[in-house]
Structure 1
Amino acid sequence: MNLPELLRWQASGYPRYHARKSNLLLHIVAVPAFLLGNVMLLASLWLGAWGWALASLVPMVLSLAAQGRGHRMEAVPAEPFTGPVQAVARLFFEQWVTFPRFVLSGGWLRAFRQT
């Protein structure tokens, strides 16, 4: 699946996999934590601050763990990963593209109000 197909696929199923209020609340906190960890990692690597680079992994791992827990609460489970490359691509683009689009388009608020 190429990037445009992946993004279309993620966007089309997003409301189905993010329907519970608890999962939506987890995501609204966890996704920014993941993004902060990404930015911290890049800045730390750029500056050669290896301790900070390791520390930046903490919010990313905790974020993904929280989101995984949120998805286990959903009536419709997330699609399983088909391999490690696809897992990394799905996770990365969900955090940086699909979830922000979901929030900015009003999808998050609509889903939150419907539950």
Structure 2
Amino acid sequence: MPIKDIIKWQWEGYAKFHKSRSNLWLHIFAVPIFIAGSVLLFFTVFNFSVLLLVVSILLMAVSLAVQGIGHNEEALPPEPFTGLLNAVTRILLEQLYTFPKFVISGGWYAAYKNS
């Protein structure tokens, strides 16, 4: 599936997979941690440091683990990944695009009020 289609698919179903109040709170704190880890990983490429590499990967992994705990609170589990490329693509798009858009558009607040 092309990235454009994944973005559309992810956005259209995003609110129905993010309704639990605890999951919403976990995401609002965990996604920025993933973004920080991603930025740190990007800079590690230019200034290679094993310590920064480890820290960036840990930040992203902990963020995803916390979000996984939050998704266990949801009535609808996330759609299963169809493969490694699908998993990486969907995770990166959700963390770096879809969830920030969900917050900025007011979707997070609306979901929180309705939870």
Q: Structure 2-normalised TM-score?
A: 0.97
Give the C-alpha shift of residue 99 in structure 1.
0.4
Match of 1:82 in 2: 82
Cα distance in 2 between the residues matched to 1:75 and 1:29: 21
Q: Which runs of 5+ in 2 are unaligned?
A: none
Give the C-alpha shift of residue 73 in structure 1.
1.0
Match of 1:60 in 2: 60
Percentage of identical aligned residues? 44
Cα distance in 1 between the residues matched to 2:57 and 2:5: 28
Alignment of 1:19 onto 2:19 = yes
Cα distance in 2 between the residues matched to 1:45 and 1:7: 27
How many positions carry a matched residue from both structures? Answer: 115
Cα distance in 1 between the residues matched to 2:75 and 2:100: 23
Match of 2:5 in 1: 5
Match of 1:106 in 2: 106
Q: Which runs of 5+ in 1 are unaligned?
A: none
Q: Structure 1-normalised TM-score?
A: 0.97
Cα distance in 1 between the residues matched to 2:36 and 2:3: 23
- 1:23-55 CA distance string (max 9 Å, x none): 000000000000000111111221122221111
Secondary structure in 1 aligned to 2:64? helix
Match of 1:70 in 2: 70
After TM superposition, the structure 1 stretch with the greater mean CA deviation from structure 2, 24-33 or 40-49, is: 40-49
> What letter matches 2:81 in structure 1?
F
> What letter matches 2:41 in structure 1?
L
